[in-house]
């Protein structure tokens, strides 16, 4: 069966996270890669793939504006799992972006900033793959509520595997504790979601877990997972 129609298989959404990873490898071998922002969910996927001995390539979108703790975690993951994380960057340096589009673009046109520093590097990478593996979950945001375990990504034109789609935050952290998976220490400082330094703040008691991303605007997604 072609990757284009894999999501139509009966029972595809009943696969466990491990079975979904195995299905990705069965279908695509190492022509599928784990896309990691090095959040808690992504660390679970990296650890799980390692335990299953699935040699998926791993890449991250290095916007040049990540927190120091995120860069440190990338190095820790490389050392622990014996992998080399491919770091994808914008074709523009921060200085070139400022000259071409204005200083602090993220403050007044965040969609354009995300497009330049995240979406376009991702598009270039996915053009070379048959599928990508993400850590998104349905209960993270309304925009992700209908995420399937395996689906066809119309936006980028390849298969998309979301092994943790039906997991809760409690399951993610239960796995991290059970397997002593390294994670970003900012999670312990009220940062449930960690992005760029300019566009991420800790959340307050009672706020939505993604309230700390692009605070003060209606933006809730960087554009990678918008269908």
Report the alpha-carbon distance of residue 148 to residue 186 in Å, rounded: 28
Tens-place pLDDT, residues 198-209: 999 999 888 888
Instruction: Examine residue 201 and state whether it is found in any structural domain, yes or no.
Output: no
Q: How many domains does one find in the chain?
A: 1
Domain containing residue 55: CATH number? 3.40.50.620
Instruction: Examine residue 19 and state whether it is found in any structural domain, yes or no.
Output: yes
For 140, how many CA atoms within 13 A lie in the half-sphere containing its CB? 25
**DSSP E strand boundaries for 1-100:** 32-35, 58-61, 86-88
Instruction: Examine residue 170 and state whether it is found in any structural domain, yes or no.
Output: yes
Cite the active site residues.
222
For 55, how many CA atoms within 13 A lie in the half-sphere containing its CB? 4
- Are 167 and 10 in contact by the 8 Å Cβ rule? The answer is no
Q: How confident is the model at residue 1 (pLDDT cuts 50, 70, 90)?
A: very low
What is the rounded average pLDDT for all residues in the chain?
Answer: 91
Q: Sheet containing 158-161: give its strands across.
A: 86-88, 58-61, 32-35, 131-133, 158-161, 150-153
Instruction: Examine residue 71 and state whether it is found in any structural domain, yes or no.
Output: yes
Residue 71: which H helix or E strand, with range? helix 68-81
Report the alpha-carbon distance of residue 39 to residue 183 in Å, rounded: 7
What pTM value is reported for the model? 0.90
Q: Is the pLDDT of residue 8 over 70?
A: no
SS3 state of residue 189: helix
Secondary structure letter of residue 113 according to DSSP: H
Instruction: Examine residue 224 and state whether it is found in any structural domain, yes or no.
Output: no
Tens-place pLDDT, residues 180-223: 999 999 999 999 999 999 999 999 888 888 787 877 776 666 55
Instruction: Examine residue 58 and state whether it is found in any structural domain, yes or no.
Output: yes
């Amino acid at each position: 069966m072609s990757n284009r129609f894999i999501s139509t298989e009966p029972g595809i959404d009943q696969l466990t996270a491990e079975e979904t990873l195995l299905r990705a490898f069965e279908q695509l071998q190492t022509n599928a890669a784990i896309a990691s922002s090095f959040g808690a969910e992504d660390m679970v996927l990296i650890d799980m793939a390692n335990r299953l001995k699935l040699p998926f390539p791993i890449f991250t979108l290095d916007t040049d504006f990540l927190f120091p703790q995120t860069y440190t975690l990338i190095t820790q993951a490389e050392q622990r799992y014996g992998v080399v994380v491919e770091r994808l960057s914008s074709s523009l340096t921060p200085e070139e972006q400022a000259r071409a589009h204005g200083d602090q673009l993220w403050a007044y046109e965040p969609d354009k900033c995300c497009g330049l520093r995240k979406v376009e590097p991702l598009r270039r990478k996915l053009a070379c793959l048959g599928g990508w593996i993400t850590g998104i979950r349905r209960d993270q945001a309304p925009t992700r509520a209908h995420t399937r375990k395996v689906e066809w990504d119309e936006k980028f034109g390849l298969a998309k595997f979301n092994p943790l789609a039906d997991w809760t935050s409690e399951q993610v952290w239960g796995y991290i504790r059970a397997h002593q998976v390294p994670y970003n220490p900012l999670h312990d400082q009220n940062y449930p979601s960690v992005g760029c330094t300019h566009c991420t703040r800790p959340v307050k008691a009672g706020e939505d877990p993604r309230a700390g991303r692009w605070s003060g605007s209606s933006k809730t997604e960087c554009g990678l997972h918008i269908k």
